Amino acid sequence: MARAPSNADAPPPPVRTIREGAGPRLYTIGYEKRSGAGLIAALRAARVDTLADVRAKPKSRRPEFNAGPLRALCEAASIAYEPFPTLGATERQMEIHAEGDIPAFRRLYRARIRRSCNAEVARLADMAKHRTIALLCYEREHEICHRGVLAEVVGARIDARVEAID
């Protein structure tokens, strides 16, 4: 089993407020340029108790971020791991992202989750009312990742304060 790092002396991670809200706090985090230990340390410092993996395919070129090893890292740190693959971006949306058309990517993703993912968005929003959740995907920058759109939609639904862990 993977061992979770201690965060007793770790400073809190830098966060940026994306949305003000009177409800619960919802975080987003990317694992780009992070180690597994660094990810867990940032989650612990933000007091996240549930990691919502919002990748369509929870696989990575970096094995520690594949679903199984990532779940083990989370469990060792007493962080719940919840996969939400239906909330991931589609292959076509990822092609548009790779082409650099971020506004089109965000628009298409928002339209798809509103049209066909309402039950999963509602489940995520309900979880966020009772747990401190971080939405996880690869991109380091919240603004160019689909999780940024998802955080906006969920945040508006429950009047959450949305913060990006940098």
Q: How many domains does the chain have?
A: 1
Distance CA 30, CA 91 (A): 19
Cβ atoms of residues 121 and 135 within 8 Å: no
The CATH number given to whatever domain includes residue 25 is: 3.40.1010.10
- Residue 26: strand, helix, or coil: strand
In a domain, 6, yes or no: no
Distance CA 121, CA 165 (A): 21
In a domain, 110, yes or no: yes
pTM (predicted TM-score): 0.91
In a domain, 9, yes or no: no
In a domain, 112, yes or no: yes
Per-residue pLDDT of the chain (166 residues; tens, 9 = 90+): 444 444 445 566 789 999 999 999 999 999 999 999 999 999 999 999 999 999 999 999 999 999 999 999 999 999 999 999 999 999 999 999 999 999 999 999 999 999 999 999 999 999 999 999 999 999 999 999 999 999 999 999 999 999 999 8
Q: Which domain holds residue 93?
A: 15-165
Query: Could you give the dihedral angle defined by the CA atoms of residues 144, 148, 150 and 152, in that order, rounded to the nearest 10 degrees?
Result: -130
For residue 6, the surrounding DSSP H or E stretch is none
Number of CB atoms found within 10 A of residue 17's CB: 11
In a domain, 88, yes or no: yes
